Chains A and B, each alone.
Chain A
Amino acid sequence: MGRKLDPLRKAPRGPGRKARKQPGAENELSKILSDDSESKRLSSHSRKRAAKRRHIEEQKAKPSRPEAKQNGNAQAAQKGKKKLSGFSDDNAEWLQPVKKARKDEEDDEEMEEDASDQVEESGDEKEIGNLEEDGEESEDDEPTGGLELSDSDDLRDDYGASSEDDDDGGDDDLLPIEKAAEKQKKKSKGKKGAEDEADIQLNVDVDEHFTLPTADELENQSSAPLDLTTVQERIKDIVGVLQDFVKRGGQHSRQEYLTVLRRDLATYYSYGDYMIKMLSDLFPVSELVDFLESCEVQRPVTIRTNTLKTRRRDLAQALINRGVNLDPLGKWSKTGLVIYDSSVPVGATPEYLAGHYMLQGASSLLPVIALAPQENERVLDMCCAPGGKTSYMAQLMKNTGVVVANDMNAERLHSVVGNLHRLGVSNCIICNYDGRQMPKVFEGFDRVLLDAPCSGTGIISKDPAVKTNKDLQDIQRCSHIQKELILSAIDCLDAQSTSGGFLVYCTCSITVEENECVVDYALKKRNVKLVPTGLDFGKEGFVRFQERRFHQSLRLTRRFYPHTHNMDGFFIAKFRKFSNSIPTNKEVTEETGDHPTKQNDAEKKEAGQKEVSPKPAAQGQKKGQKTLPTKPGQKTPLTKPGQKTTPTKAGQKTPPTKAGQKTPPTKAGRKTPPTKPGQSTPKTKEQKSLKHKKKQKMLQKKQKLLIKKKKEKKKNK
């Protein structure tokens, strides 16, 4: 042991036994080294030195091989350039086209079979023309010079490395084989340089050379075993082409590219044809790929603190002690936490069982924040299972007032009962009606949340089955149910409520049929208008989509996507009901424009009470984090069994539900007695309703008059 530490016996320095190089390594090494020096930016001194050296070389070269330059003019041009060639910022640009031209030439050599590259051919023609015609315009025809000097590389080389070559080369005393080798070396070097250049130019060249496979090729490929890497390559290429379509090269139409792209995406991400079509209608191409990519990744697990039982800080501390790695969700939520990883199952810790938190997706906090239920209000959650949003509502109301939680699936209500009791919510009535029957049972709510059953196209990462098992009919079926539900939800609302009269409609789907169409339908069918959701992030809803045109106020709705906000795909719209009467078709057009001024004060209140801090969120969520599998009890979007629906076409209008039609214009008589303190006295309400009646009568009279007039005109004609 001691011997080994002898200070006199030093380990020999230098390359050891194992550092022996393989034969032939020198060639490789020199290449690499020279490349290095090429890429290195020279200092000003070395630049000067290099310039001097080159000058000397040039003078040497002149007598030695005058036959190299047959064209005297070109030579002169070259001279002119050399004078310039101090490699300063002024002439830095002219290096580039030379290299490019060089590359073009090489490409031509290599890819002559590529006949369709007309651009390059024409480029070559130009060059030839240049060679022949204009010699003395030294500055403009750099490509010619560069091209002509394909042997000696002088112009575009770096000054250190190649000059050495030339120094000891002399060229004449080399064997032909050596010459060839040298040539090749230079060529490869030039190629590398060109490649770097191409990288800098954002792969423009690559895109130029991409050609669309023909139908036959595609068929061949489909019969052959699937090769995902080629498909992926092609997706990338096509996306590149589509982004800069003018430079595509070739005369394929955009549609051809898109069909191939769709097909590739469908195979690569294993989607059904309909879904891909629907998604590609919804997103621009680059975003589409992002979306599909992010649907493959699970969203981060998020939990919501139950402020009825604990505080977020205490909960975070308790969980950290159990070995959970977490962070606050974002600035917009005071109760949310993101969980990165955990040594214990997050859905079964003693804190979870004691009801200190609820496992809940970030996106499902948003509708409740938008709804912003107040204390002592009467609130309805129409489709409540599994109870995450319901408990959040109760939490915001601090267990006061009443929350009616309804779901039509009795089995899913078990989880609602469990969750609400676990979280200590005691102001809830849980019932099991069909949402469409609700107005018969309850009405006069201050706020209603409708988290409608949907196709689940926003939560593909949770339920990949959606990729293939949804088609147009499913979407339309969902859309139909949603339209029925939204009308009955509006009928449950009380427009005269002093603090409320709000409906939040949300789905975990991103299709237009299930969102904008439904909202637009509700705007037409009932006396409601859209109000800002109170969420500062999210994309605006569509005002027009393909052939559809929606009401302008649909800008106020919000869409959330997995690739932009790192939460599930979601849609949120917030309505305010301004009249309890149900409009007939003619009134609709008149009333949607101008609204009574009654609701203004309540809205102002609303704006003041925003729980949301006015800063963009989703920045708190980090990308690429590890995610745990989501717990049961999160949403599974399925159309509920047992709902009798007939599939209808998207555009078709369903008549308002019977329940809605039966209700008289004012509901004062039918209402259950209001129990809220501080509500307006019934007298004023009656007065209001009387006023409203009068208004309506007036309107009807006017319309009758108009119709009469029209008839008379017709008769006259």
Chain B
Amino acid sequence: MRPLTDEETKTMFEKLSKYIGENIKLLVDRPDGTYCFRLHNDRVYYVSEKILKLATNVTRDKLVSLGTCFGKFTKTQKFRLHVTALDYLAPYAKYKVWVKPGAEQSFLYGNHVLKSGLGRITENTAQYQGVIVYSMADVPLGFGVAAKSTQECRKLDPMQIVVFHQADVGEYIRHEETLI
């Protein structure tokens, strides 16, 4: 377990900013204590200082997880967000997409969101903008990338993709073994 290097911090924050923009500040400066990012087994954990201190007791091979896992660095040093970060992305999300109840299930099975399943979308979403996917009951289901801008979405035909799937909460069941 170690703090992130500058380069790692940069790649990670770049990725995060695609979803929550400048709200990253709120993640780092929290009123209820200092929180920090730590790297362990290539995974990035977001954890309070207090818990971190206690976790230093645990040897590296015995520590499985602490705080919340945000994602992992691939072998090529790219950062990949995990669905476990959703709890922190959803409240600060800038661009959102709501899916219809019928399309919920399909998204939770790892499929892209089609125009027919699109319930609502934030105004002036740009193309390839990171978006959080919600159900119509405002339950966050996952996140992805907008395939088309809001304007283009209006005149798409129903079977075309609106949001590319990146992660969804179905992975808690589908990929339980590889989550961490």
Contact = CB atoms under 8 A, between A and B. Distances in A.
A656 B68 CA distance: 36
B159 interface: no
Contacts of B77: none
Interface stretch (B8-16, B19-27, B123-131, B170-178): B170-178
Contact of A441 (B58, B66, B170): B58
Contacts of B48: 426-427
Contacts of A356: 139
B91 to A, nearest CB: 11
B87 A430 contact: no
A414 B172 CA distance: 10
B132 interface: no
A248 interface: no
Interface string A340-380: 00000001101101111000000000000000000000100
Contacts of B63: 429-432
Interface residue SS majority, chain B: mixed
A339 to B, nearest CB: 18
Given A421-B84, A428-B65, A429-B55, A415 B139 contact: no
Contact of A430 (B64, B169, B172, B173): B64
A430 B67 CA distance: 9
Given A351-B139, A421-B69, A675-B53, A413 B64 contact: yes
A427 B64 contact: no
Nearest to B173: A348
A350 B172 CA distance: 11
Contacts of A348: 173
A421 B179 contact: yes
A678 to B, nearest CB: 14
B68 A421 contact: yes
B139 A672 contact: no
Contacts of B105: 350
A153 B100 CA distance: 82
B180 interface: yes
A316 interface: no
A442 interface: yes
Contacts of A414: 176-177, 179-180
Interface in A407-430: 410, 413-418, 420-422, 424, 426-430
B54 A378 contact: yes
B141 interface: yes
Given A424-B87, A427-B51, A318 B64 contact: no
Nearest to A401: B50
Interface in B39-82: 46-48, 50-51, 53-55, 57-58, 62-69
A402 interface: yes
A94 interface: no
A537 interface: no
B178 to A, nearest CB: 9
Contacts of B140: 354
Nearest to A410: B64
A353 B66 contact: no
Contacts of A212: none
A442 B50 CA distance: 15
Given A318-B137, A354-B140, A427-B51, A442 B67 contact: no
Interface residues on B, range: 35 or more
A446 to B, nearest CB: 13
A404 B179 CA distance: 20
Interface in A277-330: 318
B63 to A, nearest CB: 6
B172 A402 contact: no
A564 B66 CA distance: 40
A415 B66 contact: no
A672 B54 CA distance: 8
A404 B54 contact: yes
B21 to A, nearest CB: 22
A274 interface: no
B108 interface: yes
Contact of A415 (B104, B108, B141, B176): B176
A696 to B, nearest CB: 28
A210 interface: no
B131 to A, nearest CB: 17
A429 B54 contact: yes
A422 B53 contact: no
A353 B55 contact: no
A431 B58 contact: yes
A656 B42 CA distance: 39
B108 A426 contact: no
Given A353-B169, A414-B179, A430 B65 contact: yes
A424 B177 CA distance: 18
Contact of A428 (B62, B67, B108): B67
B66 A418 contact: no
Contact of A353 (B47, B69, B173): B173
A350 B108 contact: yes
A431 to B, nearest CB: 5
A433 interface: yes
B120 to A, nearest CB: 17
A354 B90 CA distance: 12
Nearest to B169: A353
B36 to A, nearest CB: 13
B67 A422 contact: no
A217 B63 CA distance: 63
B172 A418 contact: yes
Contacts of A415: 176
A429 B64 CA distance: 8
Contact of B66 (A347, A413, A429, A673): A429
Contact of A418 (B47, B108, B179): B179
A353 B53 contact: no
Nearest to A322: B101
B152 to A, nearest CB: 28
Given A318-B137, A378-B54, A353 B172 contact: yes
A442 B172 CA distance: 30
A350 B177 contact: no
A429 B51 contact: yes
B60 to A, nearest CB: 11
Given A354-B141, A354-B169, A418-B172, A433 B54 contact: no
A431 B64 contact: yes
A562 B164 CA distance: 49
B137 A426 contact: no
B46 to A, nearest CB: 8
Contacts of B108: 350, 353
26 contacts: A348-B173, A350-B104, A350-B108, A350-B135, A353-B173, A354-B139, A410-B64, A414-B179, A414-B180, A417-B179, A426-B67, A426-B87, A427-B51, A428-B66, A428-B67, A429-B58, A430-B63, A430-B65, A431-B62, A431-B63, A432-B62, A441-B57, A442-B57, A672-B57, A673-B53, A675-B50
Given A350-B169, A426-B46, A442-B57, 5 more contacts: A402-B51, A410-B64, A418-B172, A418-B179, A675-B53
Give the top 9 A-B pairs by smallest Cβ distance, nearest first. A353-B169, A421-B84, A430-B64, A430-B65, A418-B176, A429-B66, A417-B180, A422-B172, A354-B139
